[in-house]
Structure 1
Amino acid sequence: MTLKELHFFYELTQTPQVTQVAKELNISQSALSLAIKSLEQKLGESLFDRVGKKLVLNERGRFFKEQTYAHYVALKDAQTLFQTNQLAGRLNIAASKTISNYLMPDIYFNFLATHKEVSFDINSINSTRIIEQIVNSKLDIGLIETNLSHSNIIKEHLCDDELIVVTSDKNSPRKLFIDTIEKKWILREVGSGTREIFIDCLGDMAKELDIFMELHSFQEIKSILLKNPNTISAISRVAVEKELKDQTLFEIKLINIEFKRAFSLIYHKDKSKSLLFNTFIEFLKKSLQT
């Protein structure tokens, strides 16, 4: 069924004179009759009794109108939905754990508080999975912390970050060569941006690393570190700002090694850029760069 056929049908339910309705709609009588016949063929039912030159609604037609008119009105309203509010819509967004937990909550809240007709589907997964879902068009926007990319992905810089090495051992030296560290390493799982950056920066030295545990969240890692001074981890500075300030965790600077990285925005190269899409990205960049 088409909206045009339904429109003609509802008009005829108000005025059974085909000639008059055709004139009001500025179409020929034959075009009106063909549209109604097409609708009836699709339904497999006659909706009108043909009485002379009139089309009188029959019992099946009355039932059809009763069951469908409210939906038709809603569909007609939907045609003008984005004319009245260009920012209405739902965005499907996924961010890596660091970005999701420590950067995005206020940004999501502030944007939604300003734009009442917008909603988000928010996911927090590792960067590798975000890239996979963007490639498969399952996400509108991805926020990642890895250098990995894909030929079908557009990648834009958001802001810079730094990984640091921390322990709860207050007596540990504050500067060390990595191969002199005898503590147990607690790292994020394979596929996380934090882990990938750390391992990539170490190069061949990563093979000698004593990785004792792999966990899926920074909270889990911090919990282990705080209870076990003989453990150590590489973690985003933004994730341990409070612990560093409270001196429950302590930074160890690795001699001759720095862990710099960028947080990036990604989306599919064929993604249509609506006003909502562009407005949120602009808001996101501005929020992270202030």
Structure 2
Amino acid sequence: MRYTLRQLEVFLTIAHHQNLTRAASELAMSQSAASSSLKDLENQFDIQLFDRIGKRLKLNDQGRQLRPKAEALLQQAKEFEQSLMQHADAGPLNVGATLTIGNYLAVELMARYMKDHPSAPVHLEVANTAQIAEQVLNFQLDVGLIEGEVNHPDLEVISWREDEQAIFCHPQHPLAQKQARGEAITDNDLLQADWILREPGSGTRQTFDRAMHGLLPDLSVTLELQHTEAIKRAVETGLGIGCLSMISLDAAIQRGSLVHIQVPQRDFSRVLYLIVHRQKYRSAGLNSWLELCLQHP
């Protein structure tokens, strides 16, 4: 064999960082050793995998074509090593989840998975939809659980479960009082309110923007926050009204600290998705995780 797994590891780490120094540091190698490893790989096959732009190494077309195959091969090697060392069918799994899923759904799934595969640790990364999709595309994550819609030719998007977002407010808010009197909440009421929303790029914000078509330019957005709990706390203190998944609101609505505002003229339904890189090697662990998610929506 004219290449080594270490050479592939160096190639992929440099592709991730686009910087030789950071790649060498992650791999606990000297910069010269990492550079030599890459040069040896390129020279053995008379190819160039990166364009050199100053100190930055940027994947060229050849490198981009070979990267998914190298990722799959290295993943297979790691899985084989895991089986040899621990006699396990599943190895470590890197899962990405958007905020609502990460806080309210992913931990239970992780517990189920680790019960079935006690020697297979799961690492959970929580970020917004755009960030999770980017990490799956860069092979930093094995699978993503997202709230927003993504459209990329390299991503397989699997419908997972239905969800519903809801507008909510403090029990003493004028909208809650109006609803309690049996009066319908109109679009004009929504325009008069101060809003506390998730940040652009999140799946929750994407669903909100779609549902509020025609009103968006005139809405009064007081705050944009990255954390679901921060939005709930801000609404509970009377700073405005919000819109989040019912998954995150059920408990607060049940205890009466928040009120679900009914707006049947606006559609806040959505689908949650699983995303995997189309060229990602489907390890036993990854297949097991996907099956678990689809069996326990």
In the superposition, the TM-score normalised over structure 2's length comes to: 0.67
CA 235–92 in structure 1, closer or farther in 2 if over 3 Å, else same: same
2:223 counterpart residue number: 213
Q: Matches of 1:149 and 1:115 in 2, distance apart?
A: 32
| 1:57-106 Cα distance to aligned partner (Å, 9 max, x none) | xxxxxxxxxxxxxxxxxx9x94961893222x111111000111111111
Unpaired runs of 5+ residues, structure 1, are: 3-74
CA 172–139 in structure 1, closer or farther in 2 if over 3 Å, else same: same
Contact 2:128–2:203 (8 Å) recurs in 1 = yes
- Structure 1 runs (4+) deviating above 3 angstroms are 77-80
CA 84–240 in structure 1, closer or farther in 2 if over 3 Å, else same: same
1:187 counterpart residue number: 197
CA 164–138 in structure 1, closer or farther in 2 if over 3 Å, else same: same
Contact 2:83–2:89 (8 Å) recurs in 1 = no
| 1:112-145 Cα distance to aligned partner (Å, 9 max, x none) | 1231121112111000111111112211100111
2:32 counterpart residue number: none
Contact 1:134–1:142 (8 Å) recurs in 2 = yes
1:65 counterpart residue number: none
Aligned counterparts, 1:79-90, within 5 A: 81=84, 84-87=87-90, 89-90=91-92
1:161 counterpart residue number: 163
1:108 counterpart residue number: 110
| 1:204-238 Cα distance to aligned partner (Å, 9 max, x none) | 3111110000011111011111111x510011001
SS at 2:282 equivalent: coil
Contact 1:164–1:237 (8 Å) recurs in 2 = yes
Q: Matches of 1:138 and 1:120 in 2, distance apart?
A: 13
Q: Matches of 1:173 and 1:100 in 2, distance apart?
A: 34
| 1:256-286 Cα distance to aligned partner (Å, 9 max, x none) | 1120101100010101112211111101221
Moved more, 212-221 or 170-179: 170-179
2:249 counterpart residue number: 240
SS at 1:112 equivalent: helix
Aligned counterparts, 1:38-57, within 5 A: none
Is 1:125 aligned to residue 130 of structure 2?
no
1:263 counterpart residue number: 272
Is 1:172 aligned to residue 172 of structure 2?
no
| 1:187-210 Cα distance to aligned partner (Å, 9 max, x none) | 001111000111012223111110
| 1:26-58 Cα distance to aligned partner (Å, 9 max, x none) | xxxxxxxxxxxxxxxxxxxxxxxxxxxxxxxxx
Counting matched residue pairs gives 213
Contact 2:82–2:88 (8 Å) recurs in 1 = no
Aligned identity (percent) is 27
1:136 counterpart residue number: 138
2:56 counterpart residue number: none
Contact 2:113–2:289 (8 Å) recurs in 1 = yes
SS at 1:254 equivalent: coil
CA 148–204 in structure 1, closer or farther in 2 if over 3 Å, else same: farther
1:225 counterpart residue number: 235
Unpaired runs of 5+ residues, structure 2, are: 3-77
Contact 1:131–1:149 (8 Å) recurs in 2 = no
1:47 counterpart residue number: none
* Cα drift, residue 254 of structure 1: 1.6
Q: CA RMSD in A?
A: 2.3
In the superposition, the TM-score normalised over structure 1's length comes to: 0.69
